[in-house]
Amino acid sequence: MTRRKPSRARLRPFRLDDAGDLCRIYPMFFVDNAVKYGSSRIVVAEADGHAVGFVMWGPALEPAWFDRGVERWAELDELHVHPNYQGRGIGTRLVRSAAREARAAGFAVMYLVAEASNAPARRVYEKNGFREHNRIVRYKLEL
């Protein structure tokens, strides 16, 4: 397996003119995150004149019902890196950036939800210190 060169991507806050690049990475981003968009923070990774990855995190809108005693917490809502830039450490840098910002904002804990089948994302999260907290089972009833 050939290892890709590390990226020289620069991390910076989201700007409105990044919207097109974010939609190329995740077409439904603004639709899926409309409720959280205003209260969240977005950091983008810029390379070759374009946003090539981003992380979105923000304060949770409710107490952590899944972790007694945690009233105020941050949630990592989205992490995406364009396929042409994956494997270069950009996701790791974005996750670390979100954790740093959340810590600086006074949050003691950050949670996220990841699909069990999304091994690449789970590796990035675990590499950055996230540990599986609990499992929620999704049931289905065909109607």
User: What pLDDT, in 10s, does the model give residues 92-130?
Assistant: 999 999 999 999 999 989 999 898 889 999 999 999 999
What's the pLDDT tens digit per position in 27-83? 888 777 766 667 789 999 999 999 999 999 999 878 888 888 888 899 999 999 999
Domains and CATH numbers, the chain: 10-127 (3.40.630.30)
SS3 for the chain is CCCCCCCCCEEEECCHHHHHHHHHHCCCHHHHCHHHHCCCEEEEEEECCEEEEEEEEEECCCCCCCCCCCCCCEEEEEEEECHHHCCCCHHHHHHHHHHHHHHHCCCCCEECCCCCCCHHHHHHHHHCCCCCCCCCCCCCCCC
| Residue 138: per-residue pLDDT | 77
pLDDT of residue 2: 47
How many Cα neighbours within 13 Å face the side chain of 20? Answer: 3
Check whether 19 has a pLDDT greater than 80. Answer: yes
Q: Tell me, what's the pLDDT at 1?
A: 42
